[in-house]
Structure formats: structure tokens, C-alpha cells
Structure 1
Amino acid sequence: MHGKSLSKEYINDLYKKIEPLKNSIEEKLKIIYNLFPKKVVFSTSFNIEDQLISHFILKHKIPIKIFTLDTGRFFEETYKVWEDTNNFYETSIIAFFPNHNNIEKFLSCHGPNSFYNKKENRKKCCYLRKVEPLKKALKGNCVWITGLRSEHSIERSNLNELEWDDVHHLIKYHPLYHWKLKSIEKIIKKHRIPYNSLYDKGYPSIGCAPCTRSIKYGDNYRSGRWWWENNSKKECGLHTRKNDV
């Protein structure tokens, strides 16, 4: 089923299998894993949604591979929640890193903070630090699980919980897509799941340290990302569709 030939009908049939389970995320994940054993991966950036998905996977011992894209510019707090998660669940989250030769060349040419000056530099930095490593992380897999939710942005409100990724040629599954933030916070608190302490300081969406700042109550969820850019679309390129390229 891995390839361009995967039909909409197949994805619709798969959705019909998991949709009746409603909020039983662990059961949905089990069904998907059993259909694609050893070919399902989850990408975490250690945001609150990702921590809940990791909880469902690790608590129920579903053998889905969990990885993160370590850009080299994470907040100290992000590294702490990474370590706390490993310790809490007695696991080891896999890390994928940027190609050091490409990063060296980019920094030597443009400097360490050139993304503040030109949008093209920001996009290139995101590409080198996130998009390229993602390709390596997804290679050979059939399903990519993410923490995207419809509340995040206008662009993300037009997705489907289960969809075909025409850039990476695999199924993309967003298990918390229809969930509300309060429901996520409730379970995080109930099970004492480790989460990023920056979340309590006004960082609902946490990326690289130089590119993320806190927001005020009522602000757009992703307005703290790349705040110096005037456009409303706040994406790094990980979730780009073919028509957007």
C-alpha cells in the first residue's frame, strides 16, 4: 500500500474502521499499526498534543516508532521534557539531525540569525533543520502520525483526520485533529504526563528557541512562531502539500 497508487477509497475504508472508536486513540493506533506493522512512525516536537499521543503509544506499549527532529536550536526546557519523557516511560525517543555539512555552509554564508532578515533565509533554515531530516525519518514507512489539530490555524482546519500525503507518499494520521485543548490538558493533568514548562508561560506552540516567543491570551495559537513575519500562515514546511510547493 506504500506508494502513489494508494486510493482515496482505501483511506475512506480505513477511516470507517477507526471512526466508530471516537476518542479511543489507543485502539485507533493499534488498528493502524496492525495494518502496517513496523511501518508506522510518530513525529514529536514535545508540544502538549505530542506528549498526549506519546502517552497513548507508550502506556499501551504499541510498537510505533517515536522520533523527533532535533534542529540544534531547541529550548533548554524542550530538552528537559524529552529527557523526562524517556525516564517516565522508560523509553528512548529517536533523534534525527540536520546534515552538518549543509548547516555549516549555510551559517558560514548567511550567519547564525539570518532568518530574521529574509524570509528566504528562514525557509532555508527550516528546510535544512527540519524538512531534510524528516525525509530520512519517514523513509520506508507507510503511516506518519502527527499532533496537528484543526484549532491550530486556518490552514490546518482544512485537513482530514486521515489523509494521503502526496509529498512523502504515505498516509498521514492526526489522532487529535478534532480534539479541544481543554480535553488534552485534562488528560495530561490526570495522568501527570510530562510536558514542556514553557506551555504554562504562554507558549502553546513551541519550536526553535530563536523563532518562538510567548503569546497573550486570545492570540492565534501559532502567532508566537516567526512573529517578525507579517503573513498569517505560520508553517515551517513539514506539512506542505504538493499544491503549496
Structure 2
Amino acid sequence: MSVVLSDIPVVDASAEVSSLRPPALWTMPLYTGSIEALEAKEQALAERLTGIASRFFRARFATSLAAEDMVLTDAILRGNEGVRAGIRVFTLNTGRLHAETLAVLDKVHAHYGYVIEQFTPDAEAIENYVRRNGENAFYDSVDLRKTCCGIRKVEPLNRALSHADAWMTGQRREQAVTRSELPFEEMDDARGIPKFNPLADWTEAEVWAYLTRHNVPINALHAKGYPSIGCEPCTRATKAGEDVRAGRWWWESKDSKECGLHEQNIKH
């Protein structure tokens, strides 16, 4: 029997290979603004930090050790003596952080000669949570996830801020729908102290332009597609084009993605 070539199905090898190729991941955005515009943003940031340090004697900065927070860490530790002395930098070591995140603590010490203070969760509270719900119960419901965040983040944060008269975060308006109206200064009603977001009006590209320009030490996970980094089991790499916080608690609705540290961002 003769075979007609047109009857033979044609396989698009390139399409097959493309379907097997993993999706492109987030990469550092390109800054297209002028150097003068960036310098103006940096000067405004320095003035904001100087203003905070001059108004408050016990200001504290809670760093996640990710990109935005490394901008603030650098600006504080390279700033004038009043800023460096007046704003203490601390982090919440939840016990579930990536090794790459913990490695940033050593990078900061080596680069700036500064030891970031660590606050850890209550061991008994963690033990009780795991015994009652399971080690990874946060996948089961938003309530169980927020309970875990409450133990590992919120309670240690409360201890860290127990004697503070103001605190700072690295939040930006661009990061999430829950942060679109983020002000520079607000009142933290839960703790009764002012809360500052010095990078509220910064773009993602400006953050990365600053980090590159000043050779700031960063988390190695950023090079693996992680624009936003939290606890290891609750953070995944982000695909190109996704929201920068899409990798945080990716199994939940995007309008509930807060851990309790910034609960007032969520409009009830």
C-alpha cells in the first residue's frame, strides 16, 4: 500500500519542547528613569529617616531581609550618626525561614559591622500548635495560617516593639491590592505607636536600582525568581508577569494576603 505524505501527521517539535519548558520566572526589573530622579528619591528617603530618628528616641525597623528592607537597612546603616543610632534594626526569625534568608544576617554583619537583633517565637506556643493542628496546618485554612503567623510573627513583633515609640516597615503601595492606599505615616492602633512606610511611593524598579547602585547585600533567592520572601513553606518563586507577592501564601485569595503584622491593610 502506498503512503501519501500529506496523510502523515506533522508534529510541531518546537511547540512540544515549549510545553515542556518551565515558565519564565520573575527577574529584577529594569530601571528606565534618570539618575537625577533616583538621587532625588534617595535624598527624600534620607530626609524621611532623619525626621523619624529626630522625632522618636526608640524607633525600630522590622526587616524581612528581602529587597525593600535591604534598601532601608542600607539607608539606615550608611546614614548619619543620628539615623544609625536612633533607628534599631531587628528581624523576626520564625523558625521556618530559608537558609538563604538567614545568610543575609551574616552578610549585613560583614558589610556594615552591624548585628541585626533576632526575635523568635515562643517554643511552647509552637509545640502546642503543631500538636493540635499539624506542622503544616497553615495550608488547611486561612484561620490556621493566621494562627501560625500570629505565633511566629505577631507575638515576637509585639515583644520587639514593647518599648518602641515608633516603628518602620519596607511596605510599598505597588506590592499588593491590600497596600494600594498605604500612607507614609499612620497610627498602629494595635500597639498605640506611629508606624512609618518610608518606601510607600517607591516603585519596584527604583528599589532594584538602589540596591544595584549601592552594591547592597541581598537575599540569594531573588536570583531564583523570588521578589517577595517569607517563611519557606509559604513562599514560592513567582512567574514573570505575576504580582510581586503572588508567591506569598499562593493558595489563598490575593485580597487576604497579610500575616497580621499589617492587618490594618485589609479593609473589613
**Which bin holds the TM-score, normalised by the shorter protein?**
0.7 to 0.9
Establish whether residue 47 from structure 1 lines up as the match of residue 66 from structure 2.
yes
Match of residue 136 from structure 1: 159
Deviates more, 1:58-67 or 1:169-178: 58-67
Counterpart residue type for residue 41 of structure 1: R
1:86-105 mapped onto 2 (5 Å cutoff): 86-105=109-128
2:180 counterpart SS class: helix
Deviation at 1:105, TM superposition (A): 0.9
Match of residue 27 from structure 1: 47
Whether the 8 Å CA contact 2:59–2:164 is kept in 1: the answer is yes
Residues 230 and 173 (structure 1), Cα distance of their counterparts in 2 relative to 1, 3 Å cut: closer
Deviation at 1:109, TM superposition (A): 1.6
Whether the 8 Å CA contact 2:177–2:254 is kept in 1: the answer is no
Which among 93, 101, 122 is matched to residue 145 of structure 2?
Answer: 122
Deviation at 1:231, TM superposition (A): 4.7
- TM, length-normalised to structure 1: 0.87
- In the aligned structure 2, how far is the partner of 1:184 from the partner of 1:22? 10
Whether the 8 Å CA contact 1:166–1:242 is kept in 2: the answer is no
- In the aligned structure 2, how far is the partner of 1:159 from the partner of 1:232? 15
- TM, length-normalised to structure 2: 0.80
Identical-residue share of aligned pairs (%): 40
Aligned pair count reads 224
- In the aligned structure 2, how far is the partner of 1:142 from the partner of 1:244? 25
Deviations 1:46-78 (A, max 9, x none): 110000100011012421110001000000100
Deviates more, 1:224-233 or 1:54-63: 224-233
- In the aligned structure 2, how far is the partner of 1:22 from the partner of 1:226? 31
Deviation at 1:236, TM superposition (A): 0.6
Establish whether residue 36 from structure 1 lines up as the match of residue 60 from structure 2.
no
- In the aligned structure 2, how far is the partner of 1:152 from the partner of 1:173? 16
Residues 233 and 159 (structure 1), Cα distance of their counterparts in 2 relative to 1, 3 Å cut: same
Establish whether residue 163 from structure 1 lines up as the match of residue 172 from structure 2.
no
Deviation at 1:243, TM superposition (A): 8.2
Establish whether residue 223 from structure 1 lines up as the match of residue 242 from structure 2.
no
Which among 98, 101, 123 is matched to residue 75 of structure 1?
Answer: 98
Deviation at 1:242, TM superposition (A): 9.4
Q: Which has the larger radius of gyration?
A: 2
Whether the 8 Å CA contact 1:36–1:143 is kept in 2: the answer is yes
Match of residue 210 from structure 1: 233
Counterpart residue type for residue 167 of structure 2: W
Gaps of 5+ in 1: 1-20
- In the aligned structure 1, how far is the partner of 2:267 from the partner of 2:147? 16
Question: CA-atom RMSD, angstroms?
Answer: 1.7
- In the aligned structure 2, how far is the partner of 1:67 from the partner of 1:168? 17
